[in-house]
Structure 1
């Protein structure tokens, strides 16, 4: 897999109307979510001023749906029309937001109702998480996927920078209810923008998978994709070791710099500004550096910033450091995210995106607990210095993997000629189905054939095979039998339909070792 030497300009996807509409809609939604979160937290301090527990539950009501619905949202986004899913979830968010505005307007809202409506809004947005990411590639112009993914990573950072400032201004000038009205207007605007998205490509003619089977097939795909497993491991290690800055930044602001809430917002905004700058420029780095070089360079740079933070006492120097740190953080995570999104087949792309989000959020959550505990027992400076060391060690342990950007064409589906069995299969759920392919290989090519067959076996498992083995004929040493098993006849049809160009090329390389002019393929279905 290789990326075209002439990569698209970082801004080029925004000249494409469908992608521009999607990008603006995603920015508006992220901004609305941030503003709703701040408004809900602030309103809870008015409703329950003496209950830190209720105030903390606001954060839980916002974050919990993402963990509960992350993987199901990916399955749903792979199985249904993504445009309609995005529109449906935004209608839900708008509806719950309008209800919240109504109760707040008449002054009939209490703490538990606020939590319930906040949880409902978060649930509708959680169902859309994977669809937003997968739609980025759907709407990206051909040849500009890497630039489109980089631009999509900017939207949360725009919201992170602008959202708190705008929310604070509206609360101070017009009150919390007005802020909730602005949130509703944001969801309404996103609906208008989503109407401009193109209709999805024609869906497969086969019946969609059920939710549980869809989750199983998505996880099976990632289990048997070496590139995805290594990339997910790398992002977990980097985020977990590097999340100390995000977890301890409030303490750095208050204890080290003597800042109040506005000062903390300035520091957080500096990280967001750096992340935005990197998001706009990271595509340019792909022209000159490999993905591994960007990840290693950005990771080491972020470790250096983490180590310098404890020794800086000047506010503006701290802001500059955090801007650079935000750039390094975004360069690493955007590159890994791009590798993951460009290394997944279209039929499973949203599920891969949902797992990626869960890994990032899980690493952030675990890192927050770990670095908070270390800071409490040993101090903030010591925790940050240890974090910097662990970032470097993590990169040394995981950074040697051969991580690279995928290609749009490699993971496109190839046209297959359907197999018509002589036996009529009345129920497509019948199975399991076994497939055997017979090869005759010259003695000198046995080792190369076996090595290549293992790669083909991985692709068969990714596409739905429950089991795969290569057998050698004991009576005829030059004869081999490849055998794999799928759950049902319908799963076999899906297995054929899911084959990508890179899968096909792997099979053709395997066939090049065969000396028999025509391969014999047999298919069996269980009857007892």
Structure 2
């Protein structure tokens, strides 16, 4: 589990992310506690959670495009400069008393914009810093960094608020951002060979297309959202549980938040051993049931010490679920689209969190705090049924290492990169007795073509020769097709194509159809 820390670059960046996350969690606590005694606190404190996470839903995929196209180190440095600037402005305005709820929500949203840029960039960079065999361990260490910060940040924030007030917490966030910025500046990243950056909007569409046509990734994201939606209640309602149900001040709220973080840290530490004994589906069921039971118990806690154990179990169940989903995702996605796929995951994760948080705030106003917490616990328990009735294949990790196995087109001159759309056709002749198996194999090939860049795929039988089929797939431009040739295809795509073409009685013949007015370059 600790092997990735032996790599110097990973260790320092991992430590920098702990410090930066500590400041971010402290900032969230400060923003929520600033208005906890407001008459509209049930709405405001849940909207703080929404304002901090909604940018991830809106901007994570564009951030993933940038992270896949440009130098990730310089991108993270730019984000830290932005973070520190926003944190300083927030500190000054709060200190001089110019921070009404609407402005606080705006600043919280601005911080969330930076997080939306940082998270997919960092998580995609992990695979550069450690070998593939260490990716699950590195993912768990990343979860540990988040949860160490989740445990320590709120506790520190509670103590600082009790002693000196909320502005000091925002100043702490600025200092933590400076630390990660210094680590990034000191790191001398090895030169990474990369192809010319993709144009923004085609790259954006390619990322969404890849996720849409990978059934395992889709199922992972649905499973995650069905858990996060109701589980978000514990984060959204914790300030109200602290102040109204338990009668605690800022320091007590920090202790409750720290209990969640400590439980989450414990989950990150033990999930590796759990996965040795249980499958991913079984791990998700156990995590959801443990979370549901502890959240239900929390609804009846009336003292600080009674509330700590359920909160620790909630933290453990939360981290176990997220850790399983992230580690599975990292192993499923090829490098050319990794940051975009992680961005889609973050959109599903934090977007669900952002949308669900105000719902639980409204539910509290309508039916009461205890009833809202119990309803959330029941829905988390119901989400466990998804892992039981809709399991995904266990430990099926396709080889997504890049492989250039397509032969080069026999053109006299290269088409213009922006020429398109381009229609690629392949004539495939098979033995009629293999038709049923061939069609099944071609359905898998359809998903492979669509993941790597095709916008349309069709298979036709030749009427004049029923044992012949024509495969057609369309890509937007010649540039996209060149990227299929030069970096998007993987060993898994090759295996899928080989399985389909194994039924051909002779090598399929490919043709590339261009628009009649397409220009060519010598």
TM-score (norm 2): 0.88
**Maintained 8 Å contact 2:80/2:181:** yes
> Which structure 1 residue ranges, 5 or more long, are not aligned?
1-9
Q: 2:276 aligns to what SS in structure 1?
A: coil
Aligned to 1:209: 198
- Inter-partner Cα distance in structure 2 for 1:116 and 1:346: 35
**Maintained 8 Å contact 1:338/1:405:** no
Against the structure 1 CA distance between its residues 267 and 174, is the aligned structure 2 distance closer, same or farther, given a 3 Å change threshold? closer
**Maintained 8 Å contact 2:5/2:11:** yes
Matches within 5 A, 1:41-440: 62-97=52-87, 120-171=110-161, 179-194=169-184, 195-196=186-187, 198-199=189-190, 201-204=192-195, 207-403=196-392, 410-416=399-405, 419-440=408-429
- Inter-partner Cα distance in structure 1 for 2:251 and 2:223: 34
Against the structure 1 CA distance between its residues 239 and 200, is the aligned structure 2 distance closer, same or farther, given a 3 Å change threshold? farther
**Maintained 8 Å contact 1:339/1:403:** no
Moved more, 273-282 or 387-396: 387-396
Q: Deviations over 1:429-463 (max 9, x none)?
A: 01111111222222221111101111111011011
Aligned to 2:520: none
- Inter-partner Cα distance in structure 2 for 1:384 and 1:37: 21
2:14 aligned with 1:34: no
Q: 2:338 aligns to what SS in structure 1?
A: helix
RMSD: 3.2
Against the structure 1 CA distance between its residues 258 and 19, is the aligned structure 2 distance closer, same or farther, given a 3 Å change threshold? same
- Inter-partner Cα distance in structure 2 for 1:143 and 1:380: 45
Moved more, 488-497 or 123-132: 123-132
- Inter-partner Cα distance in structure 2 for 1:526 and 1:79: 28
2:450 aligned with 1:453: no
CA shift, 1:420, in A, is 4.2
- Inter-partner Cα distance in structure 2 for 1:120 and 1:367: 20
Against the structure 1 CA distance between its residues 108 and 329, is the aligned structure 2 distance closer, same or farther, given a 3 Å change threshold? closer
Q: 2:423 aligns to what SS in structure 1?
A: strand
CA shift, 1:167, in A, is 3.1
- Inter-partner Cα distance in structure 1 for 2:97 and 2:246: 41
CA shift, 1:342, in A, is 2.0
> Which structure 2 residue ranges, 5 or more long, are not aligned?
518-522
Question: 2:489 is matched with which residue: 496, 499, 515?
Answer: 499
CA shift, 1:330, in A, is 1.1
Aligned residues: 513
- Inter-partner Cα distance in structure 2 for 1:153 and 1:211: 30
Q: 2:465 aligns to what SS in structure 1?
A: coil
**Maintained 8 Å contact 1:97/1:183:** yes
Moved more, 170-179 or 367-376: 170-179
Q: 2:383 aligns to what SS in structure 1?
A: helix
Q: 1:143 aligns to what SS in structure 2?
A: helix
- Inter-partner Cα distance in structure 1 for 2:176 and 2:154: 15
CA shift, 1:229, in A, is 0.7
CA shift, 1:527, in A, is 1.3
Against the structure 1 CA distance between its residues 398 and 512, is the aligned structure 2 distance closer, same or farther, given a 3 Å change threshold? same
- Inter-partner Cα distance in structure 2 for 1:427 and 1:78: 24
- Inter-partner Cα distance in structure 2 for 1:495 and 1:523: 13
TM-score (norm 1): 0.87
Q: 1:465 aligns to what SS in structure 2?
A: coil
Against the structure 1 CA distance between its residues 388 and 193, is the aligned structure 2 distance closer, same or farther, given a 3 Å change threshold? same
CA shift, 1:78, in A, is 1.1
Q: 1:286 aligns to what SS in structure 2?
A: helix
Q: 2:505 aligns to what SS in structure 1?
A: coil
**Maintained 8 Å contact 2:91/2:170:** yes
Moved more, 471-480 or 365-374: 365-374
Q: Deviations over 1:338-368 (max 9, x none)?
A: 2222211211111111121121122223333
**Maintained 8 Å contact 2:53/2:353:** no
**Maintained 8 Å contact 2:162/2:250:** no
Q: Deviations over 1:19-56 (max 9, x none)?
A: 112211111111222334555677x77xxx99989999
Against the structure 1 CA distance between its residues 371 and 104, is the aligned structure 2 distance closer, same or farther, given a 3 Å change threshold? closer
- Inter-partner Cα distance in structure 2 for 1:236 and 1:60: 15
Against the structure 1 CA distance between its residues 383 and 59, is the aligned structure 2 distance closer, same or farther, given a 3 Å change threshold? closer
Against the structure 1 CA distance between its residues 351 and 331, is the aligned structure 2 distance closer, same or farther, given a 3 Å change threshold? same
Against the structure 1 CA distance between its residues 88 and 345, is the aligned structure 2 distance closer, same or farther, given a 3 Å change threshold? same
CA shift, 1:426, in A, is 4.8
**Maintained 8 Å contact 1:87/1:191:** yes
Moved more, 69-78 or 460-469: 69-78
Aligned to 1:4: none
- Inter-partner Cα distance in structure 2 for 1:335 and 1:14: 20
Q: Deviations over 1:40-98 (max 9, x none)?
A: 677x77xxx99989999877764454344222111111111112211222233334545
